[in-house]
Amino acid sequence: MLRNSIIAVAIVAISSAAGMSAAWAKTHEVFMYNKNPDNKKERNTFYPKVLKIELGDTVKFVSKSKGHNSQSDKKGIPEGAENWKTKIGKDAEITFDVEGTYSYFCTPHRGMGMVGLILVGDYKVNYEAVKALKQKGNAKKVYKRIYEEVDAM
């Protein structure tokens, strides 16, 4: 019995030291819409566009409308983080285990401005580098508003 307790304490200590807080990790949702429910004029959108989470948290991308997915911007994620690309029209969960700023988009609607940011822990690690990335089309306009929102935080 004492041995099992010692092992359990050791596992918790190792998990905490490694930044793994599974017991406290949360799952957040980002919805993928054809029309923003709060602003019907805004089409092809993630909601929310900016999400601040803690290290070890999970983001569930929820397909509320057909034809959308989520894909990380290969140049817009922290060093050591893994890229992702979900299937169109399917819900998917991504767990974030590297601190930093993650830019992402909907593959078919990036040029229309369907983009977003996930800020993980100390997101400023690579925030300025992500902010400096060149964007095209409506994505440029949407990111401008997103960065204004983050800068005001």
68 an active-site residue?
Answer: yes
Residues 57 and 83: beta-carbon distance below 8 Å = no
Candidate list 20, 109, 112, 153, residue with the active-site label: 109
Candidate list 28, 32, 112, 114, residue with the active-site label: 114
Which positions ≥6 away from 9 have C-beta within 8 Å? none
Interatomic CA distance for residues 30 and 141, integer angstroms: 20
Task: Report helix, strand or coil for 32.
Answer: strand
28 an active-site residue?
Answer: no
Candidate list 1, 20, 28, 106, residue with the active-site label: 106
32 an active-site residue?
Answer: no
109 an active-site residue?
Answer: yes
Task: Write the class of the CATH domain 24-151.
Answer: mainly beta
- The pLDDT profile of the chain, 153 residues, written as one tens digit per residue, is 434 433 333 333 334 444 454 568 899 999 999 998 888 888 999 999 999 999 999 999 999 999 999 999 999 999 999 999 999 999 999 999 999 999 999 999 999 999 999 999 999 999 999 999 999 999 999 999 999 999 999
Candidate list 20, 28, 68, 153, residue with the active-site label: 68
Could you give the maximum distance between any two Cα atoms of the chain, in Å?
A: 63
